[in-house]
Chains A and B, each alone.
Chain A
Amino acid sequence: RAMELPPGHFSAARAAAAAVGYLRYLRGGPGCGLRLRELRRARRQDIDDVGHKYYLDLELEDVLDKDRTVSCTAEVLYHLGSKTSAPDVQLTVQGELRSTEEADKEFYNRMRSLEKELVAENIPDSHGNVPPELEPIHLLAWVASGYVIWQNSTENTKFHLAQVKHVQQVKRNDEDLQFDFVLLLHEMVSQ
């Protein structure tokens, strides 16, 4: 009952973007930036009174570890008629994502050792530059935008993070790190 979609079909690409957003929210971090390398296979099932469900085979890579790819299957269910609820996404990552414990720790310690709270803007800048010390912040923005993208995805949207306009570290009394982001999202379909 699930119909095969050509991987180049726009509806498959949109569902993949929603799945990747959700995945970044779940598994991303300052030392891990997951990116869709290839959409291998896509199927779609129209479920009466429920909605449209997409079955996707994705090939992912960590932008910090490009030599390795990881396979992932995703199920993306867009609820019928719902303008306000996020799609349900189920993900199964095959194999192991590289451990980022050390990178995360290094980032944490570096942020904790700053004299003043971090402030930055326009990441990347107009020319596509990201200073190396801000790359973990950039990847954290992927995590944050991943959540927002997943929450706002429909069959008629394809979101990407266009730019971090502003990031401000928030002073805290405990040992947690907090960052407030202002993000620019690009929605491909309505531009």
Chain B
Amino acid sequence: LTSLFPLQLDFWLAPRRLGRPVDIRVPFRSLQAVKAHLEASGVSYSIMIEDVQALLDEEQTEMLRSSRQRSVDTATFNYEAYHTIDEIYNFMDMLVAENPNLVSKLEIGRSTENRPLYVLKFSTGGTNRPAIWIDTGIHSREWVTQASGVWFAKKIVQDHANNEGVASILETMDIFLEIVTNPDGFVYTHTTNRMWRKTRSKHAGAICVGVDPNRNWDAGFGDAGASGNSCSETYHGPYPNSEPEVKSIVDFVKSHGNIKAFVSIHSYSQLLLYPYGYTTTPAPDDKELNEVSAKAVAALSSLYGTQFEYGSIITTIYRASGSTVDWTYNQGIKYSFTFELRDTGRYGFLLPAKQIVPTAQETWLALKVIMEHARDNMY
């Protein structure tokens, strides 16, 4: 048997001497030939493992599962994988515990299904300093965004510890980061429908569940560029801020009163966008926003060559009413931007986990351009 090379037999216990057993792994397509040979030679055999591949698959699953076991600190947390909401919320607590002088966790409200809406605050002190807001995961299926948010949080802490990067920004400004902006939707993408986008609210008279949280803001609410049909992915909801996920941010922004830059992060399409989406009238600061975008996109591209387009929402992607940054801009937050991260459609929402860190790294360079511009052009 050993000399019959085409059979590709793999001896796990090689022939030693007469009377001693031999263990062989037999490839599927050689099974018949081997059985026939053994029977013809009067050699008795028994099957120890029916399907080696099945065992390997099981082991693989088990390994993956155990590598997902809760890490005990943010140093061993796996930034190169997608995580559940519990793992992300646990990460936040660990980050705060490890850096109590820099990071705190705020609960700004509760979702429709009563999940806490958490915002991480990064501050080196002062009182109500001018601030930068970043949110990820407002559309739950855009998994690379929540994953990038986790990476950003760790990056801010690292920069501060090493006195580089955003450490200088933190001297005069605070950073607010909401990582899981739509927790109900996020859980739903894990448990039931990976492609879920909206919130999980059910309003009176609505046939379907969920409101598009990026059409629910009070800027051109209900105009062309959103749907009045609850079954639509762009359903704007019964009225502005009907969604607690949106209202909580509105309340936070209004009561804070000193936010200078607001960035809402989505995927996919590789775009950097600024207001407006609900009207073709250019924003008064269109020229400056365009220049900042050009700089930010160049910085992003410098790392891995990833190409981004940029421009106003309505000219670059589509008309959209009731969107986040149109509202924040109209509140007076001049540096209001929306990102659409990787990719351009090859994987779309299902971006391979190994692209999480490169995506976060390049996006961070663009975010720094925006943050530095806000700091250097205080208004």
- Which residues on A are within 8 Å of B, measured CB to CB? 6-10, 13, 17, 35-36, 38, 63, 113, 115, 124-129, 160-163, 184, 186, 188-191
Contact = CB atoms under 8 A, between A and B. Distances in A.
Given A124-B347, A126-B194, A128-B347, A10 B315 contact: yes
B247 interface: no
A127 B352 contact: yes
Nearest to B310: A8
Nearest to B190: A126
B232 interface: yes
B311 interface: yes
Contacts of B317: 10, 188
Given A128-B352, A162-B348, A191 B234 contact: yes
A10 B197 contact: no
A104 to B, nearest CB: 21
Contact of B350 (A36, A63, A163, A188): A163
A128 B351 contact: yes
B352 A160 contact: no
Contacts of B104: none
B101 interface: no
B355 interface: yes
Interface of B: 28-29, 81-82, 143, 189-190, 194-195, 197, 212, 227, 232-234, 269, 307, 309-311, 315-318, 344-353, 355
Contacts of B311: 6, 8-9
Given A127-B82, A191-B234, A162 B349 contact: yes
A119 to B, nearest CB: 16
B318 A124 contact: no
Given A127-B353, A191-B212, A186 B348 contact: yes
Choose among A6, A127, A190 the residue with the greatest number of B CB atoms under 10 Å from its CB.
A127
Choose among B310, B316, B349 the residue with the greatest number of A CB atoms under 10 Å from its CB.
B349
B344 to A, nearest CB: 7
Contacts of B345: 17, 35, 160-161
A190 B224 CA distance: 12
A17 B309 CA distance: 15
A160 B194 CA distance: 16
Given A10-B318, A188-B318, A162 B195 contact: yes
A145 B307 CA distance: 25
A8 B195 contact: no
A36 B346 CA distance: 9
A128 B197 CA distance: 17
Given A162-B195, A184-B195, A9 B315 contact: yes
B350 A191 contact: no
23 contacts: A8-B316, A9-B315, A10-B315, A10-B316, A17-B345, A113-B29, A115-B28, A126-B190, A127-B81, A127-B82, A127-B350, A128-B347, A160-B348, A161-B345, A162-B350, A184-B195, A186-B348, A188-B317, A190-B232, A190-B233, A190-B234, A191-B212, A191-B233
Nearest to B212: A191
Contacts of B232: 190
A95 to B, nearest CB: 22
B287 to A, nearest CB: 15
Which secondary structure characterizes the binding site on chain A? loop
Contacts of B212: 191
Nearest to A33: B346
Given A8-B316, A10-B317, A160-B345, A129 B195 contact: no
A188 B82 contact: no
Contacts of A160: 345, 348
Choose among B29, B197, B315 the residue with the greatest number of A CB atoms under 10 Å from its CB.
B315
B234 A128 contact: no
Nearest to A159: B345
Contacts of B346: 35, 63
A174 B177 CA distance: 59
A63 B344 CA distance: 13
Given A8-B311, A10-B318, A128 B350 contact: yes
A67 B78 CA distance: 31
A161 B349 CA distance: 10
Nearest to B345: A160
A38 to B, nearest CB: 7
Nearest to B354: A128
A8 B345 CA distance: 16
Contacts of B351: 128
Given A124-B347, A127-B352, A128-B347, A188 B269 contact: yes
B352 A129 contact: yes
Contacts of A36: 344
Question: Nearest 7 CB-CB pairs, A to B?
Answer: A128-B352, A191-B233, A160-B345, A8-B309, A124-B350, A128-B350, A126-B194
Contacts of A161: 345, 348
Nearest to B28: A115
Choose among B28, B232, B234, B309 the residue with the greatest number of A CB atoms under 10 Å from its CB.
B309
Choose among A127, A128, A186 the residue with the greatest number of B CB atoms under 10 Å from its CB.
A128
A147 B269 CA distance: 22
Contacts of B29: 113
